[in-house]
Amino acid sequence: MRILLTNDDGISAPGLRALVEEFRTGHEVLVVAPDTQRSAVSHACTFLSPIRLAPYAGGFPGIEEYSINGTPVDCVFLALFHLWKDNPPDIILSGVNSGANMGYDVMYSGTVAAAMEGSIHGHKAVAVSLNNRHPVHFAAAARLAHRLADKIVANPEALPAPPQTLYNLNVPDLPLQDIKGVKFTHQGLTIYNQYVVKRRDPWERDYYWLSGDQPGGHLDEGSDFAALDSGYASLTPIQVDCTNYQTLQRWRSTLSADLLDDF
Ligand code: MN
């Protein structure tokens, strides 16, 4: 396989290192990742300042790795439209993120956004995230990501997804043999407990931290949260198109044309 690896936790993060370790033999691997922690930047991209590309010295010999002073989406952009412009990847893997990307967190996630950038441009893409605030079993998640990538690339009919749809894999923080399996899920409903921490700097000016407790999720049947809660990994198809088709249909079928005439 020809594989593009990226993440949002930074090039030296243990989750990305686990993916490089997992894929480094028998595959063509390109790593492009942010030089620092870039979690929760979602689909941000850098158009108003220059991007620097630096070879990464901390990796394995023979693997092409770069860090950039940009976002996860910038990484995919540079790979697809510069580094591997003439020979695109078979698949893009983003992760392994330190922390799950389920429910509404999908909207904030740089990990998911990097995969989505691949989807937008018609590539097969997987976001892989490991549950827990300080997870440890990155190698297990990387192994599951490898099995998933094999299925997606080797036999596109086995687990098909239309263009503009990415595979969002969330893995419980357990040794591989203790993960019960994988469930197909829908994006669940996150329960946030957010708050702002107000502090004062040495010049007696106020500053703020946007913060929150570790979010929970509704355990409704078939959701990503329910799968992880019962010891399974969760695989959700996530689409770029955010249109609420049910509502659109209802508007078109039940609202009178006068409403639009009034605009
Ligand atoms: Mn992250």
Rounded to the nearest angstrom, the distance between the alpha carbon of 37 and the centre of ligand 1 is 7
To which residue do tokens 């097969």 refer? 124
With a cut of 90, say whether residue 258 has pLDDT above it: no
The phi and psi torsions of 113 (rounded to 5 degrees) equal: -60, -40
Model-level pTM? 0.96
Rounded to the nearest angstrom, the distance between the alpha carbon of 247 and the centre of ligand 1 is 32
Q: CA triplet 25, 163, 20: central angle to 5 degrees? A: 20
Please write the tens of the pLDDT for every residue from 172-216.
999 999 999 999 999 999 999 999 999 999 999 999 999 999 899
Rounded to the nearest angstrom, the distance between the alpha carbon of 194 and the centre of ligand 1 is 18
| DSSP 8-class letter at 82 | I
Region 123-131 average pLDDT: 98
Distance CA 166, CA 62 (A): 29
Distance CA 184, CA 81 (A): 32
Please write the tens of the pLDDT for every residue from 24-68.
999 999 999 999 999 999 999 999 999 999 999 998 999 999 999
Rounded to the nearest angstrom, the distance between the alpha carbon of 7 and the centre of ligand 1 is 7
Rounded to the nearest angstrom, the distance between the alpha carbon of 219 and the centre of ligand 1 is 23
What is the structure's pLDDT at 103?
98
Query: Taking ligand 1, which is a single-atom ion, which protein residues have CB atoms under 5 Å away?
Result: 8-9, 39, 97
Rounded to the nearest angstrom, the distance between the alpha carbon of 168 and the centre of ligand 1 is 14
What is the structure's pLDDT at 71?
98
pLDDT band at 104 (very low <50, low <70, confident <90, very high): very high
